[in-house]
Structures are given as C-alpha cells and as structure tokens.
Chains A and B, each alone.
Chain A
Amino acid sequence: MSSAEIRITAEPIDNGRCKFLVSEPVHDGGVRRFASPQEASGSPLVEAIFAIPGAEVAEVIVSGNLVTVVKRSAAPWQVIGKPVGAAIRSALAGDRPAVAPKPAAPVAAGGADDDTLYDRVAELFDSQVNPMVARHGGRVELIDVQDAVVMLRMAGGCQGCGMADVTLRQGIEAMLQQAVPEVKGIVDITDHTAGANPYFAASKK
C-alpha cells in the first residue's frame, strides 16, 4: 500500500491528547509507550513524532492501528496533526519497522517490574474492576503495563459512555492507587466514538 492510500483519522481527546486511527497496522507487537525521545530511539515513527517542531511531545503510545500522542504545547491539533500524519505515512512506507519490538521489561521505580505489575493489575481488574463495571454492561481490558503506566481499553457499556471518564478517574484509577500504589499512571486507549451501546448517552445542554 502506498502512503497516499493510508487513511488516518485524528480524534482529539482534549488539547493535550489525540488519537490517530490508521487504516493499516502500525505495530502488531502489543502496546508500546514512549515517554521521551531517548526511548523512541530505533522506532522511526516515534522518533519523527517526538521531533515535530513546536509540538513538545511528551508521550507516544502505539497499539495496532492506533497512535496516541500527548503533547505539552498549546498548538492546536489541527496544526500538529498534519506532521503526525506525515510521520505515520513516512514510517509505514519505510524499510524498517515503524516501531521497534518491545524490549525486555525494565524494573520500575520501587522495585516492581512491569510484568509483576501487570499480573497484580490484571488480578485487580478480574476480581474487582470488571465485576463492578459489568453491572452497567461494561468491560475493561488491561492492554499492557509499561514503565508502571497502565494501558487499558473500555468496552461494552463503558465505550462511549458519557460518564466513562468518571469511571476511569474516580473509580479505576483510585482503586489502582490504593491496591497497586506502584502504578504511576493510567492511559485509556479506547476509541469512544465507536461505542455502539454506551450505558449513559450525553444529551443535556
């Protein structure tokens, strides 16, 4: 497929975060999160995104067809999105993989490595989080833990729900802080616009 045939849809979450849905896989090896240009070394796509002038990119998360970019600058996504799109097309057209395979799990601060954290978070999700969201027809999938940051995806009644962010921050994140305090953050990689059966649909002015 030529780079011209690749379709990319930008979905800003807010002025700091934007998801880019790509019409072909960007990275098939699970989720990868990059929190600095140094971590991006060896992954041409992520190197290029961190190098976008004026964007002050803070974080890039790549999973399947989805590239999530977190920036610090006040520049609108209408401006930053274009070079991100160009970087995605260029990387997919290149000879090297756009994103390098995930290296061996590093040891996170506090001594808990990501694999151990993954197991503890997965246990929490299975035993507590999912039984709770199931009451509203929802489901939360643990995608990965990288550098002590949890990446998750919401489904069912949670996907596209008007109160999804309340569930995420006031419920799931709070439980993680209490049960797995080594977790440093949480990233929702859900495509909420595709949610076909949200438990609460927004309708109020």
Chain B
Amino acid sequence: MANGGTGTATATAPETATERGALTHPDLHRLDDVNRDVLKMLGRPGKGWWALFGLAATGVGVFLTAWLLIQVPFGIGVSGLNSPVGWGVYITTFVFWVGIAHSGTLISAILFLFRAPWRQSIYRAAEAMTVFAVMTAGLFPLIHVGRLWHAYWLIPYPNSRFLWPNFKSPLIWDVFAITTYFTVSATFFFLGTIPDIAAARDRATGLRKKFYTVISLGWQGTDSQWHHFGKAYIYLAALATPLVLSVHSVVSWDFAMSIVPGWHTTIFAPYFVAGAIYSGIAMVITLIVPMRKIFGLEAYLTTKHFDAMAKLMLLTSLIVLYAYLCEFFLAWYSGEEVERTAFWNRLFGNYWWATWIMLTCNGFVPVMLWFKRVRHSIPALFVISFFVNIGMWFERYVIVVTSLHHEYEPFAWGMYRPSVVEMCILVGSFCWFGFWFLLFTRLLPPIAIQELKEVMPPPMRKKATTQGADS
C-alpha cells in the first residue's frame, strides 16, 4: 500500500519525480492557498448545506421518536422481531456502522505509519466519519435490548447486588471493544485537528473565535508543541492500529461464539475486518465526493486519491468475496446436514433475494474497479461505492436473519419482516450520522491543513522543479 500512489503515476508525471506530494496535488502552488481554501469551508454555509442539515435534523427527530417515544414505552414488540428471529435490523445496522467506523482509523493511523502519500487530504474526513459512525453504532445495542433502563447492568461496577456481568459473554466483550474504540479514535481525531483549529482560530472572529480558542488548547505552533504533537500523534497512531483489527474481530465473535449454523464459523474475524474496511472505504468515497463538489476541493481530492481508495476497495472486495465462497464451500465440505441446509437456504431459501443483492453488490460490481478508466471516473466510483454500502448492509442482514430463521429445530422455523419502526430507526441512524458529519464540515477544518502543507513543494522549489521539467 505504501507506494500505492507511485504505482499509478499518471503519464504527465515524470517517473524521476521525487516530490510525491507534487504528484498528489499537481494544481496546488502556494501554501496559503491551502489555508484560504480549507478555512473558506468554515465560512457561511450555503443553501445546499442547510438543505442537507435540515433533512438530517428531521431524520434525527424521527429516529428519536421511533425509539424513545414508541419502542421504549410500548415494548420491543413494535419491531418485527420474533422467535426464532430474535435479532434483526437493529443488530444488522449495528454491525454495519461498526464496519463503517473502520476505514477512518485505517486511513489515518495505518497509512500514516506506512507513510502513504495520498492520505493527507482525506484522512480528516475519514476520521470524523469513524467517530460519528461509532457514535451511531453504539446506540444500536441500546435500541435493541428489551429493557433499556437496565442496559447499564452490562457495565462492570461494584453494586448493591454483589453481581458482576458474565465476562464469558461476547456481548460484554462488545461493550469493551466499542467503548475503547470510540475513546481512542475520538482522541486521535481531536489531537490531529488541534493545529488546524488553531489556524482557524487565528482567522475566526466572535463566538467562533472563543470556541476555537478553547478547543485549540492554546496551540501556538511553537517548536516544542510541534515536537510533542508529533510524538503524541505517532503513539496514538500506533495505539489505534491494532484496534482496527481487534474491534471488528470482537464484533464478529458475537456471532462466531454461538452455535447457530451460519454464525459458528472460524473465518468470521478476518472476514468481518476485511468487510469493515471495504464498507468503510466505500463510505468515505460516498462522503467526500459530494464534499469535493460542494466545497470545490478538486485541487485537494484528486483522481490519485480516488484511484488509491478504489484499489483498496478492490482488494478488500476480493477478500470478502473469497470469504463468501469459503463459507459456502466449507458448509458443503463439512457434510453436516444442518450446516448444508442453512447455506442452501441462504442462496435459494425465503431470503434468496437478500443474499443475491449481497453477492451482486459486494462481489460482482467491484470487479469493474479492475479498469483504470473506472477508477479514474469519480461518478463511477461514487455509484459503485453506493452499491457497496447497500451490499454490505445486506451482508449483515443475511448473516443475522437467514441464519436465525432456519435453525436446528425445523418445527420452530419462522419468518421475519422488519416493521415500520425498525425502518424509521434504520433510516434515522443515517440522518443521525449525517447530522454530526455536516456539523463537522462546518466547525472543523475537514482537510488537514498542516499535513497538506508538509507534502507540498515549498514555493521556491516548485519553481525549480518546473524549470527542471521545462529544460
């Protein structure tokens, strides 16, 4: 991945070039362009932003109503859940959002450690996405439980009952995994923004200035501060990296630890992690394409970035597809009747459509990414990323629902149809996510100013290079 950028250097770029930054941002010339362009985004919001924000806010309203005013008072029965299908859209969406949360840290931490050249201009958005996605995901276990008011019993704390949670239960592992991941990624995200917030502070006035002053933690940009900043950043990156792998492994164990045919599989951890990164990258693309348009960041988000992300998507799509095939093969190879029936039922049973949506979106559509022309066409990538998002949601739906509805006891087989409330909460969760993300694009520099500058050719040297190229 490290030299993913150079591997696809465009024809216009001289192979001998050393400033990889120059290749990444060919149209950026002066450092203060960056400040200007990026901080401009924090200015007065346009109509488009308000429209989106209004939409998101309404969605959040629906979301909270459906959950707190309908489901909690009346009971979880307002969902379509039943016996045998005790988990449905809620858990599906939970896993989906946890998955989304992954690429952020991947791009910002892992690619940072690998010194991948193309991360600078997208990692801020990706990180923000991570934080908000975890915020969203974290809600779903709460939405899902039958007695929300007792959900805190899952937290180990000394209590009057002398009772502790069951540390054997994967659900408890989840509690730890998610909270840890949220803490670290949030800290990492915030730390990375400090210098840029300071930059914003220096330009801002009035209330905004106060706000930035507080959260910039008195950043002055002195050498010592930069020194500490760099250290802290790299340590956090090192700390966050293993989490990318661990968190979704733990989530996958929610299923793998059970004995449900279709859940009880050893490949779940790598399979889920790959899927998570896959869906995460897709979501990044889905988010930054419109952002790029709205804020006119063409100079900052070039085809090179998209090309690199497309390749990452292609790779992970292959891993995921492999995992699918692996599951089906092993089900057949095990010779176990229950296992075989379960997977046959996946492909051709009552929920065949979900499975085929999953396979099409995740397995077949991304094949187009083999073609450079596709990778370089931003509209195409945008559409593909959408397919992948849909496909990845259905992947979780297939795993959760089809496995449960046909289990060991044929007489107890049943069907599950999501209810309106569940749908409201599903859609609402996207609005909730969008709500925070939109706020972010307004309040914090969505592109890392400082790091961009690092990889940009200093003005005087740009002249030199151009001369060199001319001669």
Q: Decide whether A and B assemble into one complex.
A: no
Interface residues of chain B, those whose CB is within 8 Å of chain A, are none
Interface residues of chain A, those whose CB is within 8 Å of chain B, are none
